[in-house]
């Protein structure tokens, strides 16, 4: 009877699964079989009632566990269930057991996929697993060197608050006996990953000590991938093994292959050169003259740590601030422009003309991805994850940077898992390839170098929101976005002590209170994804879109006329050299309660950066016409021009918000004889500094005289019109 009942249960469940597939668009055979399994198990478990017979000596234990007892199906049913479970999921290899590998393994496991994680080390953690050993080639140029995966130095602390380093459902909490600091040391991050792997039972999925040396597609029709791994049997002997998988997810990151600065004479320079990947402790640099290349987080940390030991430290950086100067808070450290060349006699020559007789050069210049195809661009990859021609069977998690790593990793991992389980569908191969080509085309057009392909920066939040949309989940909290973009300002404000001086919890609480209020129009428009909206003006009201900043300070106007000529060249700003605020704002660098206009501009720049608005702006685009062309579909043509080109361009939007204010079109006072008066007339819009009116009087009329209503007459040289503005009609 048990066999007949089991067969009936499975048949009933499968028939119901067929019904679901026909009536509710269940997309694949895996879901069909899964539906049958659920119904079959339900029938079987409800027919076979659990026994309540207990031993009198164990009443307490049995009564407590009775409610959670699981009834085993008959032998045949159990065999069929195991068989069907094996048939319904793909066998997936995950390369890497660090942050990305662990969260990817969890998401794949949640979707019922059969997961195997290959980890080279003997422990979870990836780059967060500290190793005092370093590469046998400190500079990382020898392809045959013995590679140590970790780049951690002994004193390293995280440079992001723990509040944004955890996962959506597994925050990076302070725990008893752990590092209580908001910016903890690397040991605390490793403990977090160990707890994560244990709590989600991932340890049994990991093959420790297995280094993947080859991943190869051997059967494209059946998406069969061979993963070759090796294990160290003895100090000099390795054993290799091949295994077939249906999908592979690469999660070994981008922090192993050092990227070395290029300059003439580098290879012939006689001193010690090393990459920051191989830096561990500062004692090696005692009484040494050190040249440190780079200005990222690792460069700043290493400079701070070695300067008490080194005789001198010379930091070479790129950018407009690269000039010879002594670094603040350091008696023995200087900043230079980049290295011009290195000489065989040990001297290092900088572009600023200075020369240093150095002992060590440390390259704090980042890392290349270990699967780089072309200049640090891995690809083509659709949305930094799937290869269009091999999707979804080959994917990458954790390639993007300039973002909060854990958030991007988790969303990418969820996306990969949902796609492989059939719950989320990818676009066609052609559509994915077109998307990648469009990205490359836009990068080339904007002059963005190829090696920045996977740099998110301003695109970070749009990318996260896009992933959340694919998954039909809520995007990350907005305060995390703002915190990420505020980090550089926080570091600048608090200096080297930002990790301990900044009250992060209080900052988050205040920010959340602000976000519960009514943000400006630009934030609201950015949240809305349904319509294509044009915002004309990027001052306080527009808060950045389409045009130059309203508060841009220009020292002199182009035309010295009151503003009557419709063809005049308009300078939008009306700020003069000593302009101060008439309102009070506590967010300031200018210490005055009523600061100068420069501080307002800085405030708006910070606002645009903190809310990720810069990528929305088309600088240098002047809107000259807005016209409704289709009332039914609410389509608007926005016509604009740029200084670089004579032609005017048009683009269609579904809504337009005018935010260019009322401060451009001057309103001129009306009085008899105004147009024939021979002296200089100007509107206050064009006033900048006092010097132009030296030895002149401030008011006037007619043949050089000004007649006031009071009857008094003044011989004047200049008339200033402080009479406000008219709204300029562009619609």
pLDDT tens profile 525-581 = 444 445 777 787 766 554 433 333 322 222 223 333 344 444 444 444 444 443 433
Task: Answer whether residue 478 shows pLDDT above 90.
Answer: no
- Residue carrying the six token digits 């980049």: 338
For residue range 482-540, list pLDDT tens digits in order.
Answer: 888 788 888 888 888 899 999 999 988 888 877 665 444 444 444 444 577 778 776 65
According to the model, what pLDDT value does residue 576 have? Answer: 42
213-271: pLDDT as tens digits: 888 888 888 889 999 999 987 767 788 899 999 999 999 765 456 778 889 999 999 99
Measured in degrees and rounded to the nearest 5, phi and psi for residue 700 equal -170, -175
The residue whose two tokens read 């935010």 is 659
Cα torsion 470, 475, 476, 482: sign: positive
**H or E element that contains 438:** helix 429-446
pLDDT of residue 350: 93
pLDDT tens digits for range 163-201? 999 999 999 999 999 999 999 999 999 999 999 999 999
* Arithmetic mean of pLDDT over the chain: 75
Long-range contact set of residues 380-383: C-beta below 8 Å, sequence gap at least 24: 380/433, 380/436, 380/437, 380/440, 381/436, 382/426, 382/427, 382/432, 382/433, 382/435, 382/436, 383/435, 383/463, 383/466, 383/467
DSSP letters, 631-683, are TTTTEEEEEEEESS-SS-EEEEESEEEE---SSSEE-PPP-TTGGG--SEEEE
Residue 62 has pLDDT above 80, yes or no: no
> Which stretch of 236-250, 583-597, 642-656 has the lowest confidence by average pLDDT?
583-597
Please state, in angstroms and rounded to a whole number, the distance separating the CA atoms of residues 686 and 573: 8
Q: What percent of the chain has pLDDT over 70?
A: 69
How far apart, in whole angstroms, are the C-alpha atoms of residue 188 and residue 152? 13
H or E stretch at 258: strand 257-258
262 three-state secondary structure: coil
Q: What is the mean pLDDT of residues 9-18?
A: 56
Q: Exposed, middle or buried, 476 (CB in 10 Å: 0-12/13-18/19+)?
A: buried
- DSSP state, residue 170: B
- Contact yes or no for 182/504 (Cβ under 8 A): yes
Cβ atoms within 10 Å of 517's Cβ, excluding its own: 6
Measured between alpha carbons, how far is 163 from 484 in angstroms, rounded to an integer? 11
What is the maximal distance between C-alpha atoms in the chain?
120
**367, containing H or E segment:** strand 367-368
pLDDT confidence bin for 117, thresholds 50/70/90: very high
- Give the per-residue pLDDT at 566: 46
Residue 585: the pLDDT is 38
Q: What is the pLDDT of residue 577?
A: 42
> Per mean pLDDT, which range of 35-44, 387-396, 654-663 is the poorest?
35-44
Q: How confident is the model at residue 320 (pLDDT cuts 50, 70, 90)?
A: low
DSSP SS3 for 625: strand
pLDDT on residue 720: 66
Confidence of residue 60 (pLDDT cuts 50, 70, 90): very low
Tokens 């704090």: give the residue: 364
Which residue is associated with the tokens 């500094």?
Answer: 689
Mean pLDDT of 41-61: 42
Burial of 600 (0-12, 13-18, 19+ CB in 10 A): buried
Instruction: Enter the tokens of residue 653.
Output: 């939007």
* Of the candidate ranges 335-344, 348-357, 404-413, 714-723, the one whose mean pLDDT is the lowest: 714-723
Bridge-based pairing state of the strands 224-232 and 211-219? antiparallel
Do the beta carbons of residue 551 and residue 601 sit within 8 Å? yes
- pLDDT per residue over 440-459, tens digit each? 888 878 778 877 777 776 57
Predicted confidence band at 145 (pLDDT cuts at 50, 70, 90)? Answer: confident
As a whole number, mean pLDDT of residues 343-372 equals 82
Least confident span in 101-105, 117-121, 678-682: 678-682
Predicted confidence band of residue 415 (pLDDT cuts 50, 70, 90): very high
Higher pLDDT, 725 or 89: 89
Cis peptide before 157 (omega within 30 of 0): no
What is the DSSP-derived secondary structure letter of residue 74? P
Contact between 299 and 315 under an 8 Å Cβ cutoff? The reply is yes
Is pLDDT at 4 greater than 80 in this prediction?
A: no
pLDDT score of 440: 82
Question: Does 306 score more than 90 pLDDT?
Answer: yes
Q: By the 8 A CB rule, do 95 and 250 touch? A: yes
Peptide bond before residue 380 is cis, with ω within 30 degrees of 0: yes
What is the predicted pLDDT for the residue at 632?
73
Question: Quick count: other Cβ atoms within 10 Å of Cβ 68?
Answer: 6
Q: Tens of pLDDT along 691-728?
A: 655 544 344 555 677 766 555 677 777 776 656 555 44
**pLDDT of 93 above 80:** yes
- Residue 403: the pLDDT is 78
Whether residue 72 is predicted with pLDDT greater than 70 in this model: the reply is: no
Alpha-carbon separation of residue 73 from 43, 86, 212, 704 (angstroms):
10, 17, 40, 108
pLDDT of residue 213: 85
SS3 178: coil
Closest CA to 149 of 209, 93, 220, 104: 209
Are 114 and 244 in contact by the 8 Å Cβ rule? The answer is no
Q: Give the whole-angstrom CA distance, residue 134 versus residue 120.
A: 15
């Amino acid at each position: 009877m048990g066999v007949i009942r089991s067969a009936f249960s499975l048949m009933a469940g499968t028939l119901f699964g067929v019904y679901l597939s026909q009536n509710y668009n269940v997309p694949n055979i895996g879901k069909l079989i899964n539906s049958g399994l659920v119904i079959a198990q339900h029938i079987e478990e409800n027919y076979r009632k659990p026994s309540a017979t207990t031993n009198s000596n164990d009443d307490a234990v049995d009564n407590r566990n009775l409610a959670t007892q699981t009834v085993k199906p008959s032998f045949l049913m159990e065999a069929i269930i195991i068989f069907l479970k094996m048939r319904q999921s793909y066998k997936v290899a995950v390369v890497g057991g660090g942050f990305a590998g662990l969260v990817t393994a969890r998401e794949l496991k949640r979707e019922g996929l059969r997961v195997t994680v290959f980890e080279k080390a003997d422990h979870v953690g990836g780059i967060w697993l500290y190793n005092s050993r370093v590469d046998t080639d400190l500079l990382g140029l020898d392809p045959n060197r013995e590679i140590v995966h970790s780049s951690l130095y002994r004193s390293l602390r995280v440079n992001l608050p723990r509040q944004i380093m955890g996962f959506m459902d597994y925050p990076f909490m302070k725990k008893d006996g752990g590092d209580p600091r908001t910016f903890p040391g690397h040991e605390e991050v490793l403990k977090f990953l160990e707890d994560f792997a244990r709590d989600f039972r991932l340890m049994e999925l990991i093959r420790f000590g297995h280094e993947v040396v080859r991943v190869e597609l051997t059967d494209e029709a059946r998406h069969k991938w061979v993963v070759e791994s090796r294990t160290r049997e003895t100090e000099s002997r390795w054993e290799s093994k091949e295994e077939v998988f249906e999908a592979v997810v690469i999660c070994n990151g981008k922090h192993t292959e050092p990227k070395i600065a290029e300059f003439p004479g580098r290879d012939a320079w006689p001193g010690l050169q090393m990459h920051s990947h191989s830096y561990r402790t500062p004692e090696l640099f005692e009484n040494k003259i050190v040249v440190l290349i780079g200005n990222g987080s690792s460069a700043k940390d290493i400079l701070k740590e070695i300067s008490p030991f080194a005789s001198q430290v010379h930091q070479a950086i790129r950018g407009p601030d690269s000039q010879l100067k002594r670094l603040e808070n350091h008696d023995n450290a200087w900043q230079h422009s980049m290295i011009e060349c290195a000489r065989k006699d040990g001297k290092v020559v900088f572009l600023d003309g200075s020369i240093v007789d150095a002992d060590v050069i440390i390259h704090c210049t980042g890392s290349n991805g270990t699967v780089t195809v072309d200049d640090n661009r891995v690809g083509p990859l659709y949305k930094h994850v799937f290869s269009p021609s091999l999707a979804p069977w080959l994917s990458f998690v954790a390639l993007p940077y300039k973002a909060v790593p854990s958030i991007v990793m988790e969303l990418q991992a969820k996306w990969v898992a949902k796609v492989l389980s059939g719950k989320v569908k990818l676009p066609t191969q052609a559509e994915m390839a077109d998307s990648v080509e469009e990205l490359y085309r836009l990068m080339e057009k904007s002059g963005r170098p190829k090696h920045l392909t996977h740099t998110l920066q301003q695109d970070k939040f749009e990318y996260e929101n896009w992933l959340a949309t694919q998954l039909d989940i809520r995007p990350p909290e907005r305060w995390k976005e703002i915190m990420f973009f505020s980090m550089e300002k926080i570091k600048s404000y608090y200096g080297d002590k930002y990790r301990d001086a900044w009250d992060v919890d209080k900052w988050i609480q205040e920010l959340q209170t602000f976000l519960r209020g009514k943000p400006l129009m630009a934030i609201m428009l950015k949240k809305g994804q349904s319509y294509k909206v044009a915002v004309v003006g990027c001052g306080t009201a527009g808060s950045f879109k389409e045009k130059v900043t309203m508060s841009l300070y220009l020292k002199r106007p182009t035309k010295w006329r009151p503003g009557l000529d419709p063809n005049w060249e308009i300078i939008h700003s009306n700020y003069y050299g000593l302009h101060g605020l008439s309102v009070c704002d506590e967010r300031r660098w200018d210490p005055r309660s009523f600061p100068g206009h420069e501080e307002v501009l800085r405030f708006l720049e910070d606002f645009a950066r903190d809310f990720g608005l810069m990528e929305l702006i088309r600088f240098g685009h002047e809107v000259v016409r807005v016209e409704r062309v289709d009332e039914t579909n609410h389509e608007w043509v926005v016509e604009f021009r740029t200084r670089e080109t004579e032609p005017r361009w048009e683009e269609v939007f579904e809504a337009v918000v005018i935010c260019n204010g009322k401060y451009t079109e001057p309103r001129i006072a009306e009085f008899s004889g105004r147009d024939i008066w021979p002296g200089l007339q100007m509107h206050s819009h064009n006033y900048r500094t006092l010097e132009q009116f030296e030895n002149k009087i401030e008011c006037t009329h007619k043949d050089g005289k000004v007649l006031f209503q009071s009857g008094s007459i003044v011989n004047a040289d200049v008339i200033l019109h402080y009479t406000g503005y008219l709204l300029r009609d562009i619609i």
